[in-house]
C-alpha cells in the first residue's frame, strides 16, 4: 500500500513533466537587403549618476559619447551628488544649480537631451 502512495504521484508528475513542450532550436535569418523602410529609432539612451560624487563623469568622454548618437542621457542623484538644495547658517533653503548645469552642458554637448530621475537620495 505504501508503495502505491509514493508511486502513483511520482508517475503522475513524471508524465506531466515529459508531456510538456520541448525546446526547438530557432533558425533566425536576417536579410538586410529586404528592408522595407527606415529602421525605427529605439529608446537610444544612456545613464549617468550615482557612481562617483563630486566628479563630472561625462566631461572627458563627450566626443566618444557623441559618436553613439544618444537621444537622452539620464541623470540620477540630482539632490545629493549635485548639491542642488542645501541650508545656510540660518537654516534657510539655498539653491545652487551650478554643478548640475555643468553636467547638463556635457549632455547637450554629446547631442543628447538630459532626462532627470528624481527618485532617490543616498
- In tens digits, the chain (122 residues) has pLDDT values of 555 555 556 666 665 556 566 678 888 888 878 777 766 666 678 876 666 677 788 888 999 988 888 899 988 888 878 888 889 999 999 999 999 999 999 999 999 999 888 766 65
How far is Cα 9 from Cα 43, in angstroms, rounded to an integer? 50
How far is Cα 77 from Cα 111, in angstroms, rounded to an integer? 22
Amino acid at each position: 500500500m505504501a508503495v502505491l502512495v509514493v508511486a502513483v504521484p511520482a508517475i503522475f508528475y513524471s508524465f506531466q513533466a515529459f508531456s510538456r513542450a520541448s525546446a526547438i532550436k530557432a533558425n533566425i535569418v536576417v536579410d538586410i537587403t529586404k528592408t522595407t523602410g527606415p529602421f525605427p529609432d529605439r529608446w537610444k539612451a544612456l545613464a549617468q549618476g550615482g557612481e562617483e560624487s563630486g566628479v563630472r563623469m561625462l566631461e572627458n568622454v563627450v566626443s566618444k559619447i557623441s559618436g553613439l548618437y544618444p537621444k537622452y542621457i539620464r541623470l540620477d542623484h540630482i539632490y545629493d551628488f549635485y548639491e542642488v538644495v542645501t541650508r545656510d547658517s540660518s537654516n534657510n533653503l539655498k539653491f545652487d544649480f551650478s554643478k548640475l548645469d555643468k553636467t547638463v552642458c556635457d549632455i547637450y554637448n554629446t547631442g543628447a537631451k538630459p532626462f532627470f530621475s528624481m527618485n532617490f537620495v543616498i
